[in-house]
Amino acid sequence: MENEKLQQLKNLLGEVWDISMAAAVLGWDQETYMPPGGSKARGIQLSTLSRIAHTKFTSPKIGELLSELEPEAANWDPDSDEARLVKVTRRDYDKATKVPSDFVAEMTRVASEAQVAWREAKEKSDFSKFEPYLARIVELRRQYADFFAPYEHVYDPLLDDFEPGLKTADVQRIFEALRPQQVALIKAIAEKPQVDDSFLHQPYDEKKQWDFGVEVITKFGFDWKRGRQDKSAHPFTTSFSVNDVRITTRIVPDFLGTGLFGTMHECGHALYEQRVDPALERTPLGHGASLAIHESQSRLWENLVGRSRPFWEHFYPRLQEYFPAQLGNVDLETFYKGINKVEPSLIRTEADEATYNLHIMLRLELEIALMEGSVEVKDLPEVWNEKMREYLGVTPPDDAHGVLQDIHWSMGALGYFSTYALGNLISAQWWERMHEDIPNLDEQIRAGNFADLLGWLREHIHRHGAKFEPQELVKRVTGSGIDPAPYMRYLKTKYGEIYNL
């Protein structure tokens, strides 16, 4: 089906991709090895590259090629790579041409400087050091939304960047169905005797934590010839190519959970990026479908696999070999219950599965309020603490454990947070479908064999890259759109058994 116009389009899109990937390398370096003094220059460099990429992508030539190809594409197989490329590029092009290149450059520069300010503010637990940067980011994000007016809700254009096709009202509806069920479950658990997880909170050698995590994700299928792992203040995954996918982790010397489950989580993202069809590379299809689909992968490997009993029936003896003094006298059942302890906590990334989504709902409400103007940036620490008390019954002792704990706002990523909770829901939908297709999946995991699991994900999700919008992809695989019911079934079954509900 290859024709000259399609090839021209691919060549132009490939150049945009290359510039964006070069910027991604600089972004990865900024979060891992760059000395703090480099932040101002790095902000300018990233700003220049983002402006060039945006200018190239919004060029009239790409618009002309799309207009010439669309009549032809109407006759192609609608699920073919070529037809989807034209469709997705048109969607992205129409969005991008509404946003001036100078605005993109300014947003990138401000976000780059804000990330450095956020790190310092978090270190000193002082929101005032970050406040002016965040105020500017909120101002820019409102300006960004205005490029897409009229809209149903000011938050819609931001959400669409991360979840194409999803509306604020859709997410609110899903969360409203979910919230009372999760709150009821947490309340039921709170009335039962608490499980013991004290063994997780003691000194664990950092190198051994790292090595065990590497052993686990190697078995999952992480390809070290096409990826690497480093350390960062906030774990993340970035991809420069299907053949170069980077993950980072954060290891806490006196708590086992952070590094271990963070490593599994980021590996889930990386397994996705490493298995996108290489034919989609250097086009807008050459990455994950959306942030929620991405989170469904990371949360699946971290929680549905990594916190499951079959997984630990295989790996726990090995972990005990690494840490005989800490875990030698802790039996498997105690360990399994300990890593699945439900307790309202301050930090989102360390929250258990039953309370995690409440952390997300809190952030979504704050983002919407910031965009609507009903909450001012200066009042965020106070409002954050109020909502933590209301939702989880805990009060942050300081800004570092409260409003400053996440990097996302410093990156300008308002619109992002709901994707975490949506990813949880989708992961349970995949999980139910996967068990129908692979009836002995639990036995395979118990044997430390993840090949069929990874093969299923590659076939149904990974290889398609961004060909399908998230809701469309979920429906193709499971038969329904994003649905909270499988996730609640999963939580009630798992915690019903752990806490004798």
Tell me if the bond preceding 150 is cis, omega within 30° of 0.
Answer: yes
What would the two tokens of residue 113 be? 């400087």
Say if residues 175 and 364 touch (Cβ distance below 8 Å): yes
Residue with tokens 């964006």: 20
Say if residues 212 and 263 touch (Cβ distance below 8 Å): no
- SS3 percent helix, strand, coil of the chain, rounded to 5, is 70, 5, 30
Using a 10 angstrom Cβ sphere, with 0-12 exposed, 13-18 middle and 19 or more buried, the burial of residue 68 is: middle
Please report, for the chain, how many H helices and E strands are present, in that order.
21, 3
| Rounded Cα gap, residues 160 and 181, in angstroms | 27
- CA neighbours closer than 13 Å in the CB half-sphere of residue 243: 5
- Kindly give, in sequence order, each residue whose CB lies less than 8 Å from that of residue 437, ignoring residues fewer than 6 positions away: 456
- Kindly give, in sequence order, each residue whose CB lies less than 8 Å from that of residue 241, ignoring residues fewer than 6 positions away: 21, 281
Closest CA to 392 of 359, 369, 419: 359
* Lateral strand order in the sheet of 244-249: 227-231, 244-249, 237-241
| Rounded Cα gap, residues 499 and 497, in angstroms | 6
Q: What secondary structure does DSSP assign to 93-106, as a single string?
A: HHHHTTS-HHHHHH
Distances in Å between the alpha carbon of 350 and those of 203, 365, 424? 17, 20, 15
Strand 237-241 to strand 227-231: parallel, antiparallel, or no bridges (unpaired)? Answer: unpaired
Q: To 5 degrees, how large is the angle CA 437–CA 439–CA 445? A: 105
Q: Is 252 helix (H, G, I), strand (E, B) or coil?
A: strand
Is residue 266 part of the annotated active site? The answer reads yes
| Rounded Cα gap, residues 12 and 282, in angstroms | 9
Using a 10 angstrom Cβ sphere, with 0-12 exposed, 13-18 middle and 19 or more buried, the burial of residue 421 is: buried
What would the two tokens of residue 263 be? 């490593």
Catalytic residue, candidates 82, 113, 163, 266? 266
Active site positions, annotated: 266
